[in-house]
Amino acid sequence: MSRQERVPLRFLAAQAGISLRTAYKWLARFRAGGPGELADRRSVRHGQQRTLDQRRLQQAIDLRHQRSTLRRIARVLQVPLSTVGRAMNALGLGRLRNLEPKQPVQRYQWQKPGDMIHVDTKQLACFQRVGHRITGDRRQGCSPGAGYEKVHVAVDDAIRMAYVEVLPDEQQSTTVGFLVRAVGWFSEQGMTCRRILSDNGSAYRSGAWRKACRSMAIKPSRTKPYTPQTNGKAERYGLRPTASTSRPS
């Protein structure tokens, strides 16, 4: 084809139904590799790194055990974030909680009733109309502003006997009052409370709580932070409905 017979690229792009930009892209591919370069291919980069060599993989593992985020590891290694995520997931290091082996479950149980009383609270939402579990419509079952009630639970470690009250809050005075009534109720059942275990809530760390325990000759204990399983008997009891729930008069 002579120079006079050449057709403008804009005209050819219009005939093919593509944009001028796409036409220039195809032209560049043809000039670089001939007709074979015009075949369909994936739109990802040719040089995208999908795996890590042994040196970089070990470096990524070391950084991960230092609790570095996947994004930071990708930035240090100068590789795509998806590549780092794929490698860490394959090794089971995708989640930070998998960096350390799980602690074996240590089950315990005190021998005598009253040796250890577990206490905890659970929040229950109040409602002013029938909820979606009955109507099936979440849009009509809302009760905004209805507030919450607190279920206070005291469970004996040895025989699982429980005392429960539904109270309006979990403030210091409310929690201490529940403790006094719970200990009194256990005493009526023939049990002497000697120790009590709670989480690290503000009411359980208050001076009024310690003073109340001291006046009743009870030794207070608290769980280690972020280990609710230590107080699992009360935690688990608060998750299920119970017929022993009562309200103080």
Query: What's the rounded Cα separation, in Å, for the pair 16 and 72?
Result: 46
Residue 43 counted as domain residue: no
3-state SS class at 162: strand
- Asked whether residue 145 falls in the same domain as residue 206, the answer is yes
- Give Cβ neighbours of residue 87 (< 8 Å, ≥ 6 apart): 51, 52, 57, 60
- Asked whether residue 86 falls in the same domain as residue 198, the answer is no
What is the pLDDT at residue 138? 74
- Asked whether residue 238 falls in the same domain as residue 133, the answer is yes
- Asked whether residue 239 falls in the same domain as residue 125, the answer is yes
- Give Cβ neighbours of residue 12 (< 8 Å, ≥ 6 apart): 23
What domain count does the chain have?
Answer: 3
Strand 162-167 and strand 148-156: the pairing is antiparallel
What is the pLDDT at residue 194? 95
- Asked whether residue 229 falls in the same domain as residue 143, the answer is yes
Residue 137 counted as domain residue: yes
What the block records as the tokens of 80 is 């795509």
What is the pLDDT at residue 1? 46
The pLDDT averaged over each successive group of 10 residues in the chain (249 residues) is 68 87 87 81 64 89 91 92 91 84 79 93 82 77 78 93 92 95 95 94 94 95 87 75 42
What is the pLDDT at residue 158? 92
- Asked whether residue 183 falls in the same domain as residue 236, the answer is yes
Cβ neighbour number for residue 194 with a 10 Å cutoff: 16
- Asked whether residue 64 falls in the same domain as residue 162, the answer is no
- Asked whether residue 28 falls in the same domain as residue 127, the answer is no
What is the pLDDT at residue 46? 60
- Asked whether residue 24 falls in the same domain as residue 145, the answer is no
Tell me which residue range forms the domain holding 216: 117-246
Query: Which of 242, 247, 92, 111 is closest to 168 using CA atoms?
Result: 247
The CATH number of whichever domain residue 179 belongs to comes to 3.30.420.10
- Asked whether residue 28 falls in the same domain as residue 146, the answer is no
Please check whether residue 84 is in contact with residue 60, taking contact to mean a CB–CB distance below 8 angstroms.
yes
What is the pLDDT at residue 103? 74
